[in-house]
């Protein structure tokens, strides 16, 4: 357990963080699973190394500034968790540590500006859409901007899709088998709103009524993972009150969102909504997992052709939520689909929220490797379950002049139901 810690200095420090530290036996199984250890090759840049550093900081034996160069490059991909024989809940340590250390550090001006820009725009669809449109106009002058801002502009798609809005209720087609509430997300609703539309259509096709809460907010995962606790708490609190309780599940179609909502008990720890948040997180389920559990799903029509699809495991779906087989099961339901596995599938693609902006060199290296491994499958489509991964894959596949299309699992399944080869 942790020693010599003043509780008043660490309001988030609870049983979860203490157990995350004390459970680690420093066996080293996490090293091979960690993307940043693979990239940087230093013990301090591995999960067990970071655990030691965070422990030393929390106990007052190490200055925060000495640990940050190794803590900051952590993707938060949680690949270390399934690799750990001791079951260390790394997620219970890394995000709370960042949240309580953020106010104690001094960032360079350009970092403060870019972090403010992302946190002021990304979680708010209207602001993000306006910022994205403005950013497109600024692209020709990007050579004049600092590297972090150039990266932000490079991540924007060539053309923003048409804006979509969703009704508050979508009745099931045929006999109703379930009723769910859908998180529509913030960045996703701007960068690829069709994911939500496809999700609703697939659920409806399988007898599921879909409710879209009007007063929902950003899931708060971005804010939480970069250490902005007040903003994360604001979003989490709004959502635990906005989503109805008379549903079978709160469904997400973005791995990062689902993972963040599963951590509402940590985000809202010590607040009036703590108990409500704990109940809320147990109702959150990824749409692929929900559909697989529902069972007896509608089989898409036979397109009369073979289609080769590669599936990319989003880290916060596979590692944080344990959802691996379910998306593959859904894709294999489609007649004519040959599902391909990607080499080094456990390694993160380098997206991880704002990681492209915060750690552009590592993010670019991981993205390039992932795109190369996708190309090697010979697939026509790469499917995944997270908008951040989709943006990263699209960017790096384009750089490699690949014509492989990047689609969400729900888009692939919806297109199959409609008899479309692809959109």
- Among 386, 371, 258, 250, which residue's Cα sits nearest to residue 321? 258
Nearest-angstrom CA–CA distance, 204 and 262: 25
- The CATH fold assigned to 298-418 is Rossmann fold (3.40.50)
Tokens for 38? 């693979």
What are the boundaries of each domain within the chain? 7-104, 109-154, 169-293, 298-418
CATH of region 7-104? 1.10.1060.10
Which residue matches tokens 């939520």?
A: 321
Is the model's pLDDT at 141 over the cut of 80? no
Specify the 3-state DSSP secondary structure of 37: helix
Tokens for 208? 């599921």
Please determine whether the domains at 169-293 and 298-418 fall in the same fold group of CATH.
yes
In this predicted model, which residue has the larger pLDDT, 158 or 299?
299
DSSP string, 209-273: EEE--TT----SHHHHHTT-HHHHHHHHHHHHHHS-SSSSEEEESSHHHHHHHTTHHHHTTTSTT
Element (H, E) at 382: strand 381-384
Nearest-angstrom CA–CA distance, 281 and 265: 7
Mean pLDDT on 212-236 = 94
Q: List, for residues 260-276, the tens digit of each pLDDT value.
A: 999 999 999 999 999 99
Mean pLDDT on 394-411 = 96
Q: List, for residues 364-385, the tens digit of each pLDDT value.
A: 999 999 999 999 999 999 999 9
Residues 6+ apart with CB under 8 A from 70: 42, 44, 45, 49, 50, 53
Nearest-angstrom CA–CA distance, 329 and 370: 22
> Which pLDDT band holds residue 420 (cuts at 50, 70, 90)?
low
Q: What is the pLDDT of residue 118?
A: 87
Element (H, E) at 154: helix 147-154
- The CATH fold assigned to 169-293 is Rossmann fold (3.40.50)
């Amino acid at each position: 357990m942790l020693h010599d810690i003043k509780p008043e200095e660490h309001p988030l420090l609870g049983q979860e963080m203490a157990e995350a530290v004390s459970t680690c036996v420093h066996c080293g199984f996490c090293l091979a699973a960690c993307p940043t250890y693979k990239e940087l090759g230093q013990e301090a840049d591995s999960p067990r190394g970071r655990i030691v550093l965070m422990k030393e900081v929390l106990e007052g034996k190490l200055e925060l500034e000495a640990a940050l160069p190794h803590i900051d490059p952590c993707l938060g991909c949680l690949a270390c968790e399934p690799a750990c024989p001791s079951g260390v809940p790394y997620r219970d340590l890394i995000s709370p540590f960042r949240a309580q250390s953020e106010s104690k550090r001094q960032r360079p001006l350009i970092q403060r500006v870019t972090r403010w820009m992302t946190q002021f725009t990304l979680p708010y669809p209207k602001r993000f859409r306006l910022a994205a449109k403005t950013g497109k106009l600024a692209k020709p002058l990007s050579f004049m901007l600092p590297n972090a801002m150039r990266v932000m502009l490079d991540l924007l798609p060539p053309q923003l899709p048409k804006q979509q809005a969703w009704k508050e209720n979508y009745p099931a087609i045929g006999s109703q088998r379930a009723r769910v509430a859908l998180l529509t997300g913030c960045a996703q609703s701007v960068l690829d709103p069709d994911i939500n539309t496809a999700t609703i259509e697939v659920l409806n096709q399988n007898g599921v009524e879909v409710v879209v809460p009007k007063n929902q907010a950003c899931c708060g995962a971005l804010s939480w993972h970069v250490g902005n606790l007040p903003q994360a708490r604001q979003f989490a609190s709004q959502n635990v009150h906005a989503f109805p309780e008379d549903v079978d599940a709160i469904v997400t179609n973005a791995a990062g969102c689902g993972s963040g909502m599963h951590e509402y008990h940590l985000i809202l720890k010590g607040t009036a909504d703590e108990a409500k948040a704990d109940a809320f997180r147990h109702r959150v389920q990824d749409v692929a997992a929900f559909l697989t559990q529902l069972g007896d799903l509608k089989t898409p029509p036979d397109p009369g052709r073979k289609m080769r699809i590669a599936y990319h495991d989003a880290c916060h779906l596979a590692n944080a939520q344990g959802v691996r087989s379910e998306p593959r099961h859904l894709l294999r339901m489609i007649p004519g689909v040959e599902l391909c596995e990607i080499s080094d599938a456990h390694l993160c693609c380098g997206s991880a929220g704002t990681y492209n902006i915060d750690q552009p060199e590592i993010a670019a290296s991981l993205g390039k490797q992932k795109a190369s491994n996708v190309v090697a499958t010979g697939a026509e489509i790469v499917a995944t379950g997270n908008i951040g991964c989709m943006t990263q894959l699209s960017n790096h596949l384009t750089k490699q002049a690949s014509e492989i299309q990047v689609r969400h699992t729900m888009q692939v399944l919806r297109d199959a139901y409609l008899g479309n080869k692809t959109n």
